[in-house]
Structures are given as C-alpha cells and as structure tokens.
Amino acid sequence: MRDANSTQNSLQDRLRKLPAVDTLLAQMAQNPAFKEIPRTVMVGAIRQSIDELRAAIKSAGNGFPESELDPDAIGRRISDKVASAMTENLVRLVNATGVVVHTNLGRSLLAADAVRHMTEAASRYSNLEFDLKAGRRGSRYTAVEDILCEISGAEAAMVVNNNAAAVLLALDTLARGREVIVSRGELVEIGGSFRIPDIMAKSGGILREVGTTNRTHLHDYERAVNEQTGLLLKVHTSNFAIVGFTASVSLPDMVGLGKKHGLPVMEDLGSGTFVDFKKYGLMKEPTVQESIATGADVVTFSGDKLLGGPQAGILLGNREIMDRIRKNPLTRALRIDKLTLAGLETTLRLYRDEAGAVKDIPTLSMITGPLSHIREKADALCKRLRAIDDARLQVGLLDSVSKAGGGSFPLLEIPTTCVTIRIDGLSASTIDRLLRQSRIPVIGRIEAELFLMDMRTVIPDEIEIIRHAVGGMLD
C-alpha cells in the first residue's frame, strides 16, 4: 500500500514538473530562430510536446528518464515539431519503383506544355466560362469537348473530376432504379475502395450479376435482359487478369445485344488510352477509339492513368446520352477546375501527333522508351555513386522488369535496368527506410533482400538527388 502510494506521489511530482504552455512560449520567444514562426504553430508544438511527455510519464512510471524534462530536451522536442509543421506535407520525391502510373506516388507526370498552360490558367484570368465571340457566358467544357471528339471519333464528350465520378454520373443518369447487367468477372475493386457494386448502389442502379468469375457468355446477358434492364455494362478488369479456363463477352457482342433490345451499352475502360501500345512492342490494351468505333454508347476513363494528363474523368459517346448526362445536377458537383481543364486540353492536343505525344507525355515516354535510355541513366547513376568512394558501399546493375501500373497491363512486365546498392551493416529494409526519409525522398523497391532502384521512372536530373541521399546514409 505504501509502495503504491509513493509511486503515485512520484508520478504526481513528475507531472507537476511539466512546464506550463505560457512558460514554454516565453522560453521559445528568447530564441531568434523562432521569431518568424506563427503563434498558432508554436502553441500547437508546445501543447503536443507537453501531451506527449505527460503520456510518457504516465506509461513509463518510475522508468521515465528525468532527462526528458530538461529545458533543453523539451526545447528540442518543440523545435522538431515546429520544423515539421513548417514543412509542406505534399513533397516531391524520386520514383525509383519503375511503376510508371504509381497511384500512391502521384500517377502521371504532365508534359511540359501542359504545365505551362496550367500555370497560365492559375495566374491569369481566362475565358473559362466566357464565349469571346458572342461576348456572353460560355461553357466551361468547350475547351476540351471538341478535341476529345476529334481524336476519339466520338459524337459527344464530357469531363468530370475523375473516372470514379464519371462512372457514378453515367450510372446515375442511365440506370437509376433500373437493372444494370454486369459480368461477375468484372465486379472489380480498384485502389481507394472503389468497387463496382458499391458505386452501383450509390447511383441507385440495381446490380444484375451474370456468369461466373472466370466465364461469362453472351447468353448469360441475353437471359438476364427484362423490362427492368436499363444498361449493359462492361468494366475493363484493369488491375488483375483471370487466366486459364476463361471466357468473356466482347464489346462488339454486347453492342449487338444492346441494339437488339434497344439498351444502351457502357464501357468503363479504367485507364483508357488513345495509343495502341502493341505498336511499341507492348501488350494490347483496348483503345478508346476502338470502343467508340464498336458503337459503345458511353465510354469512361481516367485523365491521369495511361493518358498521362491531370486527374479527370472523361465520358465519350452518343450525343443524346451525353446531353442527358450534362443535365444531371450531379455534373455540377463533380465538375473539374480550371487548372485541370488547362492541363487536359494541352495534353489532348498533343495526341494529334502520336509520335509527339509519345515523346512529350512522360507517362507514354516512360512506358515505351527504349531499354538503352534506361541503361544510360543506370550507368550515369552507378558512376556518380561509385564516386562517393566509400568501402562500405557496393553499387551494381541488375536486369529486371517494371510495371506500367495505374490498373493497366496487369500481366505486362517491361524489361528494365536497376541500380542495386548494398551497404555494410545495413539491411535492404534499412536502406529503403533511410532513403524514404531523406530530404528529397527516394522510393525504390526490394527484391530478394536487395535494395534496387528501377531507372525507368527516374528523371535524369534526379540522379544527383539520389547521390545526395545515398551519401547522406554513409555520413
């Protein structure tokens, strides 16, 4: 009982030693380095530090190191928090994963011209919703609709915030309260918990699953058609592939069935590309133009996956349906902003000349670029890293494969060259963590206990950044 009491007393003693917010505020104000720090940041860092110490005292009991309560130690704790509060949260990093459209690392990088247009739209007034010829209010979407129709061959076009929004909007417009027939093999979940059945429920469409996970036939769709049917939906199984004993119904067959029953057919392409990657020695991905030519009534896809533009959702198709979609009040809630519009317009214009697009749009050039270019970057990095000249560091080259990402080409592995690093006394996962925590983070990957950097997605001027980060680990 006495012991319990004395522990209780010393706990109270320690808690009493915690300085008050005002005391710390006055103490920090002595330091000229903190002169420019906003008061809200300072107070927040102080409160957080006191809270942390209080929790540590309570949980560590007698094991709590008294030194933590030294004014210097508390000062350091506060200044760390101030430093992190004063640093932007969204930071650039080096993508050395080799995954070109990496959803966690910002998906697509924009072409330089698209960035130029976005900067201009951001810093100057524009004719965003103003018809310069007529001198009156205009539509925000005209900037991209014509060019979308021109390159895709579609009758009409519409753009929203992202493809998830495009799918929601199309289903809400065409299938609210009606049945939507979808193959069980296409009820996908993509990253960020976007699931076809959930989006269907939100839109008010009634999911009518047909077929099995691995095989669905045209007669499965045919049998499911009834007076309640509102739409036939095909979803591109972007991020996985069913292999082996499989069967799925092609878009032309679905379009045929739709015509027969007077039902619209929609295809969610997911990634969506205007370029036939087969021409570049890669796997076939269905192109947007092919889906439109086949006669799909609505085709939806992302702006920032294989297209290589800003985040957006693009809807193409039949004029009458697009007009209905445009009138849906949800459209206003899902509209894109002017920066996206500017970046998207310029990206789309680049597609008028495919060779130019493949060269200037980073997503395309990284996917289709020759192995020799990747090898050159790998050689350059190796040379810079060897110049560090530290006996603990071993640098090497490794032939490997990279992924396109962004829920495209699930099975595709593109030959690439990686730079490997080994450091005496550090495991691959420690190297991975330290590089991730460098001033400009470097994100690589680990294969068979070896840390490697896939040079496909590394931009030449980032080689110096990697050298700094690796050098920093050896200091």
Ligand X SMILES: *Cc1c(COP(=O)(O)O)cnc(C)c1O
Give residues in contact with ligand X (CB under 6 A). Answer: 162-164, 167, 188, 190, 194, 235-236, 238, 268, 270-271, 302, 313, 407
Query: In the block, which residue shows the tokens 């878009």?
Result: 251
Give the type of residue at 87: T
| Residue 456 C-beta: closest distance to ligand X, Å | 21
- Find the shortest distance in angstroms from Cβ 111 to ligand X: 19
Pairing of strands 450-454, 156-160: unpaired
Specify the residue, 210 or 235, whose C-beta has the smaller distance to ligand X.
235
Give the dihedral sign, CA 325/207/264/216: positive
Tokens of 180: 């939507």
Nearer to ligand X, 183 or 417 (CB): 183
Segment holding 210, helix H or strand E: strand 206-210
Q: 3-class SS at 448?
A: coil
| 3-state SS assignment for residue 410 | coil
Select 190 or 423, whichever has its Cβ closest to ligand X: 190
CB of 84 closer than 8 Å to CB of 305: no
Question: How many angstroms separate the CA atoms of 141 and 336, rounded?
Answer: 9
Tell me whether residue 166 or residue 473 sits nearer to ligand X (CB atom): 166
Instruction: State the minimum distance, in angstroms, from the CB of residue 305 to ligand X.
Output: 6
Count of CB atoms within 10 A of residue 30's CB? Answer: 8
Q: How far is the CB of 406 from ligand X (least distance, A)?
A: 7
Least separation in angstroms between CB 5 and ligand X: 60
Least distance (Å) between residue 272 CB and ligand X: 9
Position of tokens 């006191």?
A: 50
Minimum gap (Å) between residue 236 Cβ and ligand X: 5
Q: Which is nearer to ligand X, 164 or 452 (CB)?
A: 164
> Measured from the CB atom, is 205 or 270 closer to ligand X?
270
CB of 409 to ligand X, least distance (A): 12
Spatial CA neighbour of 449 closest among 465, 430, 467, 464: 430
How far is CA 281 from its chain centroid?
26
Nearer to ligand X, 270 or 317 (CB): 270
Taking the least distance from each CB to ligand X, the nearer of 188 and 393 is 188
The β-bridge relationship of strands 206-210 and 156-160 is unpaired
Question: Terminus-to-terminus CA distance in the chain, angstroms?
Answer: 52
Residue nearest ligand X, CB atom distance:
270
Which DSSP helix (H) or strand (E) runs through 233? strand 229-235
